[in-house]
């Protein structure tokens, strides 16, 4: 679901910057303030002491690795991803490519159970692991979104999380597997750009919030500004959180939807696997800047739209494109509001 950038490292600056780490077990007022600052500065942060049981993660990782270890013919039974199901290299419908294979699900337990029949020899066990993990991610996402509401001092602190708790929410979940590869042409080449391939190309997530967990193999990078990429160190005990387009729109640009990518590095001795939960509102949810975020000094940046309208836009573009610009408010829109 992203556009791969050619020559991902050539003429780009890679810089190790200390990214925000937030301990969710700390005092609540401190946590909410740190989260708001991280969303403003980076649109990205790591949470520790998050309360997600390790056995929930371990069960899903075991089931996922078992699937990705199958032969290509066996895995293709679960595809093609249109958009749900198994996909390999081809991402989305507009020519996007990556060194990745993946499983994409919506978060409906019945749908997951049905799809698991083509994925696993033990479909009940697989669907239970996926649904259990998703439920834990939903709870964690809602906790973080409530903390954001408190940190922004909006009257309705559940304004964000309520969309995710809605039974009609359009959230989805993706398992990404970046197979270990060796580029034979680069065996004796010290050029760093030769040792990495684009796993998932540079993109912004369109939803409200993303929770990402990976194994102990690195590859994730964020771009706090054009031309600069910052590695996010692997930590299988923590979750990376990133702001999506919808949260940027609802905060009227106060929070930034972070651009990020995943590189598949041939120097790794094993494959990388990540689990991404995308917290998303119902299709008919109206996305509009909160009144508290709009002032004479900071007029409305985006016109109101529904998630369904925005989602339709995703399928018409390469998803590495900047989509929010298509929903920019004009002066007339602001005067009419």
Cβ count near 160 (within 10 Å): 27
Crossing angle of helices 28-41 and 123-151, rounded to 10° = 90
Tokens of 311: 């989602």
Whether 254 is catalytic: no
H/E element, 39? helix 28-41
Tokens of 297: 């000094």
Question: What own/partner pairs with CB < 8 Å and gap ≥ 24 does 304-308 have?
Answer: 307/170, 307/246, 307/280, 307/281, 307/282, 307/283, 308/283, 308/284
One of 272, 300, 318, 323 is an active-site residue; which one? 272
Cα dist from 253 to 67, 107, 284, 295, 334, whole Å = 40, 28, 22, 12, 15
Burial of 66 (0-12, 13-18, 19+ CB in 10 A): middle
Strand pairing class (196-204; 172-178):
unpaired
Catalytic residues, which ones? Answer: 272
């Amino acid at each position: 679901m992203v556009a791969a950038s050619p020559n991902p490292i050539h003429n780009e600056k890679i810089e190790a910057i200390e990214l925000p780490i937030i301990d969710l077990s700390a005092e609540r007022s401190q946590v909410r303030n740190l989260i708001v600052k991280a969303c403003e500065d980076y649109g990205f942060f790591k949470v520790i002491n998050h309360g997600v049981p390790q056995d929930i993660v371990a069960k899903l990782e075991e089931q996922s690795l078992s699937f990705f270890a199958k032969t290509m013919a066996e895995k293709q039974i679960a595809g093609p991803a249109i958009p749900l199901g198994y996909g390999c290299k081809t991402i989305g419908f507009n020519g996007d490519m990556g060194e990745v294979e993946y499983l994409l699900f919506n978060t409906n337990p019945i749908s997951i159970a049905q799809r698991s029949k083509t994925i696993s020899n033990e479909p009940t066990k697989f669907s239970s692991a996926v649904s259990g993990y998703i439920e834990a991610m939903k709870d964690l996402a809602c906790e973080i979104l409530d903390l954001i509401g408190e940190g922004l001092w909006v009257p309705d602190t559940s304004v964000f999380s309520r969309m995710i708790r809605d039974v009609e929410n359009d959230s989805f979940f993706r398992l990404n597997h970046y197979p270990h590869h060796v580029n034979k042409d680069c065996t004796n080449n010290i050029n760093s750009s030769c040792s990495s391939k684009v796993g998932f190309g540079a993109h912004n997530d369109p939803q409200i919030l993303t929770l990402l967990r990976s194994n102990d193999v690195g590859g994730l990078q964020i771009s706090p500004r054009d031309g600069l990429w910052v590695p996010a160190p692997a930590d299988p005990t923590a979750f990376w959180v990133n702001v999506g387009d919808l949260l940027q729109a609802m905060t009227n640009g106060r929070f930034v939807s972070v651009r990020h990518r995943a590189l598949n590095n041939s120097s790794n001795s094993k494959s990388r696997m990540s689990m991404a939960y995308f917290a998303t509102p119902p299709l008919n949810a109206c996305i509009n800047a909160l009144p508290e975020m709009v002032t004479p000094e900071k007029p409305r940046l985006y016109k109101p739209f529904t998630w369904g309208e925005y989602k339709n836009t995703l399928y018409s573009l390469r998803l590495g494109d900047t989509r929010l610009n298509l929903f920019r408010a004009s002066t007339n829109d602001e005067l009419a509001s």
